[in-house]
Amino acid sequence: MSDSAETNRFTVQPYEDVERFDVSTDVLVCGFGGAGGSAALEAALAGAEVVLFERASGSGGSTGMSSCEMYLGGSGGTSLQKELGYEDSTENMIAYLETALEERGDPEKIRTYVEGAADHYDWAVSLGVTYKPAVMLARDVVPLTDESLLFTGNERTEIFKRNAEPVPRGHVPSHEGDFGGRIFMDALTGAVEKAGVDIRYDSRVIRLLVKADGRVAGVVAREDNQERFYEARRGVVLASGGFIMNKEMTAKYIPEIHNWATPYGNPFDMGDGIRLGMAAGGSVINMDQAFLSFPLYPPAKLTNGIMVNVQGDRFVNEDAYLARLGHYSSLQDKQRVYLLVDQDDYDHPMYIERLDVVAVGDTIEEIERESGLFPEGALQETVAFYNKFAEKSEDPKFHKSPEWIKPLKAKPFALLDLSFENQTAVIMPGTKGPLTFSLGGLDTLPSGEVISVSGAVIPGLFAAGRVTAGLPRTSKGYASGMSVGDATFFGRLAGKSAASAGSSP
Amino acid sequence: MSDSAETNRFTVQPYEDVERFDVSTDVLVCGFGGAGGSAALEAALAGAEVVLFERASGSGGSTGMSSCEMYLGGSGGTSLQKELGYEDSTENMIAYLETALEERGDPEKIRTYVEGAADHYDWAVSLGVTYKPAVMLARDVVPLTDESLLFTGNERTEIFKRNAEPVPRGHVPSHEGDFGGRIFMDALTGAVEKAGVDIRYDSRVIRLLVKADGRVAGVVAREDNQERFYEARRGVVLASGGFIMNKEMTAKYIPEIHNWATPYGNPFDMGDGIRLGMAAGGSVINMDQAFLSFPLYPPAKLTNGIMVNVQGDRFVNEDAYLARLGHYSSLQDKQRVYLLVDQDDYDHPMYIERLDVVAVGDTIEEIERESGLFPEGALQETVAFYNKFAEKSEDPKFHKSPEWIKPLKAKPFALLDLSFENQTAVIMPGTKGPLTFSLGGLDTLPSGEVISVSGAVIPGLFAAGRVTAGLPRTSKGYASGMSVGDATFFGRLAGKSAASAGSSP
Q: Which residues in chain A have their CB less than 8 angstroms from residue B258's CB?
A: 103
Judge: A288–B287 Cβ closer than 8 Å, yes or no.
yes
- Within a domain: residue B434? no
Residue B312 buriedness (CB in 10 A; 0-12 / 13-18 / 19+): buried
Order of all β-strands in the sheet with B70-71: B70-71, B170-171, B149-150, B135-136
B377 in the same domain as B245: no
Task: Give the pLDDT mean for A246-269.
Answer: 96
Residue B495: left (phi > 0), alpha (psi -120 to 50), or beta?
A: alpha
Task: Give the pLDDT mean for B444-454.
Answer: 97
For chain B, counts of helices (H) and of strands (E)? 14, 22
Task: Give the pLDDT mean for B6-27.
Answer: 89
Q: Is the CB of residue B165 less than 8 Å away from at least one CB of chain A? A: no
- Within a domain: residue B505? no
Q: Mind giving me the DSSP string for B73-127?
A: --TB--HHHHHTT--B-HHHHHHHHHHHHGGG--HHHHHHHHHHHHHHHHHHHHT
Can you tell me the distance from the alpha carbon of A240 to that of A62, in angstroms, rounded to the nearest whole number?
9
A99 in the same domain as A15: no
Nearest CA to B383 out of B330, B446, B312, B326 is that of B312
Determine the residue among A108, A397, A439, A473 to mutate to test chain B binding: the one whose Cβ has the most chain B Cβ atoms within 10 Å.
A397
Q: Which residues in chain A have their CB less than 8 angstroms from residue B314's CB?
A: 311
User: What mean pLDDT, rounded, does chain A reach?
Assistant: 94
In tens, the pLDDT along B460-473 reads 999 999 999 999 99
Can you tell me the distance from the alpha carbon of A166 to that of A319, in angstroms, rounded to the nearest whole number?
14
| C-alpha A499 chain-centroid distance | 27
Tell me phi and psi for residue A111, to 5 degrees. -65, -45
User: Has residue A2 got a pLDDT over 50?
Assistant: no
Confidence at residue B435, expressed as pLDDT on a 0 to 100 scale: 95
B188 in the same domain as B56: yes
Residue A361 buriedness (CB in 10 A; 0-12 / 13-18 / 19+): middle
User: Has residue A5 got a pLDDT over 50?
Assistant: no
Judge: B389–A396 Cβ closer than 8 Å, yes or no.
no
B122 in the same domain as B35: no
- Within a domain: residue B431? no
Residues contacting B368, CB < 8 A, separation 6+: B312, B359, B374, B376, B377, B378, B379, B380
B378 in the same domain as B333: yes
Range from A256-270, B18-32, B192-206, B490-504 carrying the lowest mean pLDDT: B490-504
Q: Is the CB of residue A385 less than 8 Å away from at least one CB of chain B? A: yes
ipTM over 0.85: yes
- Within a domain: residue A238? yes
How far away is chain A from the Cα of B281, in angstroms, using its nearest Cα? 7
User: Has residue A501 got a pLDDT over 80?
Assistant: yes
Can you tell me the distance from the alpha carbon of B219 to that of B222, in angstroms, rounded to the nearest whole number?
10
Query: Could you tell me whether strands A149-150 and A170-171 are parallel, antiparallel, or unpaired per DSSP bridges?
Result: antiparallel
* Single-letter code of the amino acid located at A269: D
Chain B residue nearest residue A105, CA to CA = B255
User: Has residue B148 got a pLDDT over 70?
Assistant: yes
Confidence at residue B178, expressed as pLDDT on a 0 to 100 scale: 67
Can you tell me the distance from the alpha carbon of A422 to that of A411, in angstroms, rounded to the nearest whole number?
25
CB A245 within 8 A of CB A267: yes
Q: Is the dihedral of CA A101, A103, A105, A110 positive or negative?
A: positive
Confidence at residue B3, expressed as pLDDT on a 0 to 100 scale: 41
User: Has residue A282 got a pLDDT over 80?
Assistant: yes
Number of domains present in the structure of chain A: 3
Confidence at residue B505, expressed as pLDDT on a 0 to 100 scale: 45
CB B169 within 8 A of CB B153: yes
B319 in the same domain as B223: no
Can you tell me the distance from the alpha carbon of B311 to that of A315, in angstroms, rounded to the nearest whole number?
9
Confidence at residue A350, expressed as pLDDT on a 0 to 100 scale: 86
Can you tell me the distance from the alpha carbon of A180 to that of A150, in angstroms, rounded to the nearest whole number?
14
CB B93 within 8 A of CB B169: yes
Confidence at residue B142, expressed as pLDDT on a 0 to 100 scale: 79
CATH number at residue A361: 3.90.700.10
User: Has residue B146 got a pLDDT over 90?
Assistant: no
In tens, the pLDDT along A120-142 reads 999 999 999 999 999 999 998 87
Nearest CA to A479 out of A188, A164, A189 is that of A164
Judge: B278–A283 Cβ closer than 8 Å, yes or no.
yes
- Within a domain: residue A150? yes
- Within a domain: residue B316? yes
A319 in the same domain as A258: no
Q: Is the CB of residue B278 less than 8 Å away from at least one CB of chain A? A: yes
Determine the residue among B454, B457, B474 to mutate to test chain A binding: the one whose Cβ has the most chain A Cβ atoms within 10 Å.
B454
CATH number at residue B236: 3.50.50.60
Rounded to 10 deg, the angle between the A34-45 and A180-194 helix axes is: 30
Tell me phi and psi for residue B82, to 5 degrees. -60, -45
In tens, the pLDDT along B67-123 reads 999 999 999 999 999 999 999 999 999 999 999 999 999 999 999 999 999 999 999
Q: Which residues in chain A have their CB less than 8 angstroms from residue B103's CB?
A: 255-256, 258-259
Chain B residue nearest residue A207, CA to CA = B454
B418 in the same domain as B300: yes
Judge: A8–B455 Cβ closer than 8 Å, yes or no.
yes
Residues contacting A424, CB < 8 A, separation 6+: A352, A353, A354, A430, A431, A432
Q: Is the CB of residue B275 less than 8 Å away from at least one CB of chain A? A: yes
Q: Mind giving me the DSSP string for A172-184?
A: ----SSS-HHHHH
Nearest CA to A29 out of A21, A41, A15 is that of A41
The pLDDT-based confidence of A65 (bands split at 50, 70, 90) is: very high
User: Has residue B6 got a pLDDT over 80?
Assistant: no
Decide which of B178, B213, B247 is a domain's last residue.
Answer: B178
Judge: A103–B258 Cβ closer than 8 Å, yes or no.
yes
CB A462 within 8 A of CB A488: no
Q: Which residues in chain A have their CB less than 8 angstroms from residue B311's CB?
A: 314, 397-398
B382 in the same domain as B395: yes
List the Cα angle A338/A290/A178 in 5-degree steps: 75
B-facing residues of A in 296-355 (CB < 8 A) are 311-314, 331
User: Has residue B24 got a pLDDT over 90?
Assistant: yes
B396 in the same domain as B367: yes
Q: Report H helices in B195-293.
A: 247-253, 255-260, 272-279
Q: Which residues in chain B have their CB less than 8 angstroms from residue A314's CB?
A: 311
Q: Mind giving me the DSSP string for B234-262?
A: EEEEE----STT-HHHHHHH-HHHHHH-E
Judge: A279–B381 Cβ closer than 8 Å, yes or no.
no
Q: Is the CB of residue A376 less than 8 Å away from at least one CB of chain B? A: yes
Task: Give the pLDDT mean for A152-165.
Answer: 96
Confidence at residue A503, expressed as pLDDT on a 0 to 100 scale: 60
Residue B477 buriedness (CB in 10 A; 0-12 / 13-18 / 19+): buried
Q: What is the 3-state secondary structure (H, E, C) of A249-284?
A: HHHHHCHHHHHHCEECCCCCCCCHHHHHHHHCCECE
Can you tell me the distance from the alpha carbon of A385 to that of A407, in angstroms, rounded to the nearest whole number?
10
CB B236 within 8 A of CB B498: yes
- Within a domain: residue A186? no
Can you tell me the distance from the alpha carbon of A281 to that of A332, in angstroms, rounded to the nearest whole number?
37
B174 in the same domain as B185: no
Q: Is the CB of residue A258 less than 8 Å away from at least one CB of chain B? A: yes
Q: Is the CB of residue B263 less than 8 Å away from at least one CB of chain A? A: no
H/E element holding B359?
Answer: strand B356-361
Q: Which residues in chain B have their CB less than 8 angstroms from residue A252's CB?
A: 285, 443
Q: Is the dihedral of CA A222, A224, A226, A229 positive or negative?
A: negative
Q: Which residues in chain A have their CB less than 8 angstroms from residue B278's CB?
A: 283, 453-454
Residue of A103, A279, A397 lying closest to B311 (CB–CB): A397
Q: Which residues in chain B have their CB less than 8 angstroms from residue A312's CB?
A: 397
Nearest CA to A461 out of A444, A436, A440 is that of A444
Confidence at residue B61, expressed as pLDDT on a 0 to 100 scale: 96
Q: Mind giving me the DSSP string for B145-171?
A: S---EE--SSTTSHHHHTTS-----EE
In tens, the pLDDT along B190-200 reads 999 999 999 99
Q: Mind giving me the DSSP string for B427-484?
A: TSTT--S-EEEE--EE-B-TT-EEEBTTSSEEEEEEE-GGGB--S---STT--TTHHH
Residue B80 buriedness (CB in 10 A; 0-12 / 13-18 / 19+): buried
Judge: B288–A285 Cβ closer than 8 Å, yes or no.
no
Q: Count of alpha carbons within 13 Å of B332, Cβ hemisphere only? A: 24
Judge: A285–B103 Cβ closer than 8 Å, yes or no.
no
Can you tell me the distance from the alpha carbon of A284 to that of A241, in angstroms, rounded to the nearest whole number?
14
Residue B230's domain comprises 5-64+181-290+439-499
CB B461 within 8 A of CB B236: yes
- Within a domain: residue A404? yes
Chain B residue nearest residue A251, CA to CA = B103
The pLDDT-based confidence of B4 (bands split at 50, 70, 90) is: very low
Confidence at residue B110, expressed as pLDDT on a 0 to 100 scale: 98
A165 in the same domain as A104: yes
Task: Give the pLDDT mean for A462-482.
Answer: 98
CB B460 within 8 A of CB B232: yes
Decide which of B145, B178, B211 is a domain's last residue.
Answer: B178
Confidence at residue A50, expressed as pLDDT on a 0 to 100 scale: 98
Decide which of A178, A208, A239 is a domain's last residue.
Answer: A178
Judge: A378–B388 Cβ closer than 8 Å, yes or no.
no
Q: Which residues in chain A have their CB less than 8 angstroms from residue B333's CB?
A: none
Q: Is the CB of residue B108 less than 8 Å away from at least one CB of chain A? A: no
Name beta bridge partners: B30: B53, B238
Confidence at residue B8, expressed as pLDDT on a 0 to 100 scale: 58
Q: What percent of chain B has pLDDT over 90?
A: 89
CB A307 within 8 A of CB A349: no
Can you tell me the distance from the alpha carbon of A453 to that of A446, in angstroms, rounded to the nearest whole number?
17
Nearest CA to B268 out of B206, B220, B210 is that of B206
